[in-house]
Amino acid sequence: MYVKIKLKVTVMILLLLIGIPFSNIYASEQEPIHALLLYDGLAKGSSREGNVETMQRLLASYGIKVTQSTFDNYKKGGLAEYNKVIGIQNLDELSITNEDFINDLKIYKGDYLHIGTSIPSAVQVELNMVTNMLRDQFVKISMDQFSESRIHVKNMSYIVQAEGTFYGSIMSGNGDVRSPYGVRNDHFAYVPYYEQGNLSELAMSYVLKDWLDITRQGQTYLIFKEVYPFSDLKLLEKLADKLYDAGIPFMVSVRPVFMNVDYPAMHRYLETLKYVQSRSGSVLVNAPVVSSTASQDGLTLQTQMESFVDVLADYGIAPLGIGAEMYWSYDQQYAEYGMNFFDSSILFPNKDMRYWSRTDSSQPFASSLYSMQLDFLQQFDHNDTILQDLPMDSAITYDFSDNEVDMSKIVQTLNDSWITFADYRYGQHTVHTQANRIVSDNGLLTLNGQDVDLNDAYKNIGSEYAYTVEQEKSFAKLFNIQNNVFIVLIVVTLLIFGFLFIIGYRLYIRKYLNQRRK
């Protein structure tokens, strides 16, 4: 051991003397795994629709850089560029016909995972595997502490015989078929069934973790998104108090503000976020809403995102990552100009994709959470009273609501749940702009090297504010003089009129009395 250390130090000294910096010596160790994801189709309109996207998000949660393509578009020699390759066969009626891929796979030295039907012969030979087919049945899938019954499958392959490490199980409804959910040896792996929305989505993460050689255990976090300046901020403070009292750490993914940051409404927003931060809450910056990409400008987006991070930092708030729909990481412009300030993310399922400059390769993050809803986990049977750590880092996700009853129900559900949530601040996260560097490490938040004050006093922000700059008025002094003159004339006129009225009244009374005497 001493000899190895001494040799490493000697090498470093020699490299330094010839001008090679230490940062480049082990650069390859810091590079993320780059995997190739191949598929035959997206299976839109079928039960397998969406499984390619969930695979992309799963791989992101393991910090993997992904390049995606179809089997048909594969070019000869492509496999040699990757150590990890995944093939998803969604279309039962089609087989892999690309001869370049078939021939390259036969001599491929890396790791290959095949999912679905049309299993390449190289995979069958490597795993010494025999499969059969379930045409139309309900099956039960079991994996680790979870199980789910009555999953409807059509044309699903199952493993009759194989050599390697087995994962979970698939059992037919009548019990006559029982096979592993997946199998893996040193280089090849096979999973017969993978769909979005049932246990196979979660079961895949167990196979992936071992196949990717990931050793770090995942943790589960809690996040509330859709938080805006015009949200019910008092209710957000109450939510923070309830979760703090329950001992549940959480995160909020907040929508950025690019204009009017000096308004009291913005200051109240910032004060609320600072209060959330003081109640074991971590702050993430959510990607802005994309209404149209027609007039987008990359440098404008970069300036806006950087300015909002700086606004938070200047107010004593330490954002630790970015929240965005998954497609943002597959867009060159969004990744470069909107996400490059963060090394940590949570990628939500796609809802309204508005690509700007779509690319086939993803932006990897050192830390990325797999987003899921609590209902997704609660649909499974489980063996333990407490949720064991999942293979990947994951986040139970809720949309923040201005309905206090709904939020109270969520807090009660979380209190009654079997999940132990981790504190995001105890991970390693870095956010940097030209002006600020925010670091979270083992629970310590620092801003430009200084500890972030988590107990800063809450400030009440008044509503008095001049929302428009008062314009200089032309002839204002002249108009004021005229007004004063008119007021004087009116007052004098009223006095004269009153004097004449009194004189006339007296004359009338005198005349009336003289007539009565006669």
DSSP 5-59: HHHHHHHHHHHHHTT--GGGTTHHHHSPPEEEEEES---TTSTTTTHHHHHHHHH
C-alpha angle 394-166-120 in degrees, rounded to nearest 5: 95
For residue range 349-394, what is the model confidence (pLDDT) as tens digits?
Answer: 999 899 999 999 999 999 999 999 999 999 999 887 788 889 999 9
The predicted structure's pLDDT at residue 484: 78
Residue, of 37 and 14, whose pLDDT is higher: 37
Is 407:235 a contact under the CB 8 Å cutoff? yes
Which amino acid, one-letter code, is at 13? I
Q: 34-211 is classed in which CATH architecture?
A: 3-Layer(aba) Sandwich (3.40)
Contacts of residue 266, defined as CB under 8 A and 6 or more positions apart, other chains included, come to 229, 257, 260
Question: What is the Cβ-side half-sphere exposure of residue 202, based on CA atoms within 13 angstroms?
Answer: 27
Contacts of residue 431, defined as CB under 8 A and 6 or more positions apart, other chains included, come to 309, 318, 319, 320, 321, 341, 342, 343, 437, 438
Instruction: Work out the mean pLDDT of the chain and round it to a whole number.
Output: 88
The predicted structure's pLDDT at residue 396: 97
Q: 220-451 is classed in which CATH architecture?
A: Alpha-Beta Barrel (3.20)
Q: How many Cβ atoms sit within 10 Å of the Cβ of residue 179?
A: 23
For residue range 69-128, what is the model confidence (pLDDT) as tens digits?
Answer: 999 999 999 999 999 999 999 988 788 999 999 999 999 999 999 999 999 999 999 999
Distance of CA 287 to the CA centre of its chain: 8
Q: How confident is the model at residue 478 (pLDDT cuts 50, 70, 90)?
A: low
Which amino acid, one-letter code, is at 503? I
- Sketch the domain layout of the chain as residue ranges: 34-211, 220-451
The predicted structure's pLDDT at residue 229: 93
CATH topology agreement for domains 34-211 and 220-451: no
Calculate mean pLDDT across residues 215-228. Answer: 95
Take residue 239 and report the two structure tokens written for it.
């939510």
The predicted structure's pLDDT at residue 463: 54
The predicted structure's pLDDT at residue 406: 96
Calculate mean pLDDT across residues 133-159. Answer: 94
User: Which region among 76-85, 158-167, 253-262 has the lowest average model confidence (pLDDT)?
Assistant: 253-262
Q: How confident is the model at residue 500 (pLDDT cuts 50, 70, 90)?
A: confident
Q: What is the dihedral of CA 233, 234, 240, 242, to 10 degrees?
A: -150
Cα separation, 154 vs 285, whole angstroms? 42
The predicted structure's pLDDT at residue 475: 53
